[in-house]
Amino acid sequence: MVNKIEFKVVLNALGILALFLWIGLPAVLLADNASLSIVPATHVYPVSEPFTIEVRVDTGGAIIGTTDATIAYDPQDVSYVSVSGEGSVFSRISADSDSNYGKVSISGFIERGKEGFNGSNGLVARLTFVPLRNVETQFHFASGSATPPIALGASVADLANILSGLHVANYTFIPKESAVAGVPFASAQETFEITPLPIPYTEWFGTTSVKLSWTLPDGATEMRTLVSEKKDATPTKVYPTLLNSATLSGIPEGKNYF
């Protein structure tokens, strides 16, 4: 009888030890390509004019019920204004900011009983900022997580963060109606060739698509373009690689500048 009791005690002790180890071990259940992104990833914005970015989530095929993220920025470059949850895949959005340290923390939550989100481009929230000076700056995630919907009886493993990537965004803030100081730029008036040719300068032509080519100036380090009805509009589309030609399509009727 004594041996039988001792045997049971040993089993119970092992069971308690196994349970302790199971609870104490961190659970890492990452979904393939699950990530948070700041959209757009690159852009040019005029100083003093508010602009809005989006925080978006790719669940990598998993279903999530909550997302938490802290976006960090340089408070000398940009000022935080507000956050909006309109159009978010989450039922509720909350936010907290620290302008001194340049951080905005947001949380998205899908209410219990509602279906979780599964997708590659889910809107979490929109954040609005104002550029303060002419500079190139970066927004990044100081932290970020996404977890499955909360269910009764959920374990620690069930609530593990599934994210495997946090993507940064790089922006350039420029003075209104001017180019970034120190960045060489080409004037299109004398160096551009237009296809189809010939097209007299003073005449109209019936096409909505043209190919433009140009010679890059020596020392060029950045390229931006824009199609606009205004001759002196500031280019905003940033190219990661310098190009010497581009095909424009869907050009509206009228006089347009590139």
pLDDT per position as a tens digit, 158-205: 568 999 999 999 999 988 765 434 334 444 433 444 444 445 555 555
Residue 226 pLDDT level (bands cut at 50, 70, 90): confident
pLDDT per position as a tens digit, 105-135: 999 999 877 889 999 999 999 999 999 999 9
Q: How far is CA 49 from CA 96, 129, 228, in A?
A: 23, 9, 19
Query: Parallel, antiparallel, or unpaired for β 35-39 and 51-58?
Result: antiparallel
Q: What are phi and psi of 171, to 5 degrees?
A: -125, 155
pLDDT per position as a tens digit, 24-78: 433 444 567 899 999 999 998 999 999 999 999 999 999 999 999 999 999 999 9
pTM of the model as a whole = 0.59
Predicted local distance difference test score (pLDDT) of residue 149 = 87
Q: What are phi and psi of 86, to 5 degrees?
A: -65, 125
Domains of the chain with CATH codes = 35-174 (2.60.40.680), 177-258 (no CATH)
* 258 vs 254: CA distance, rounded Å: 13
